[in-house]
Amino acid sequence: IYGSELDVHLSKDGVLVVNHDHDINGVVIADTRYKDLKKQVLKNGESIPTLKKYLKEGKKVKDLKLIVELKTPHSKETNLKLVQKTLDLVKSLHLESQVEYIAFSLDICKLLKQLNPNAKVQYLNGDLSPEEIKTLGIDGIDYHYSVFLEKHPTWLQEAKKLGLITNTWTVNSKEVFEKLKLQYSNP
pLDDT tens for 3-33 read 899 999 999 999 999 999 999 999 999 999 9
Verdict on whether the full-model pTM lies above 0.85: yes
Q: Is the pLDDT of residue 74 over 80?
A: no
pLDDT (0 to 100) of residue 4: 93
List, for residues 116-172, the tens digit of each pLDDT value.
Answer: 999 999 999 999 999 999 999 999 999 999 999 999 999 999 999 999 999 999 999
- The DSSP result for the chain, as a single string, is --EEEEEEEE-TTS-EEE-SSSEETTEEGGGS-HHHHTTSPPTTSPPPPBHHHHHHHHHTSTT-EEEEEE---SSHHHHHHHHHHHHHHHHHTT-TTTEEEEES-HHHHHHHHHH-TTS-EEE-SS-S-HHHHHHHT--EEEEEHHIIIII-TTHHHHHHHHT-EEEEE---SHHHHHHHHHHHH--
List, for residues 85-97, the tens digit of each pLDDT value.
Answer: 999 999 999 999 9
Mean pLDDT of 73-85: 92
Of the chain, the percentage scoring pLDDT greater than 90 comes to 93
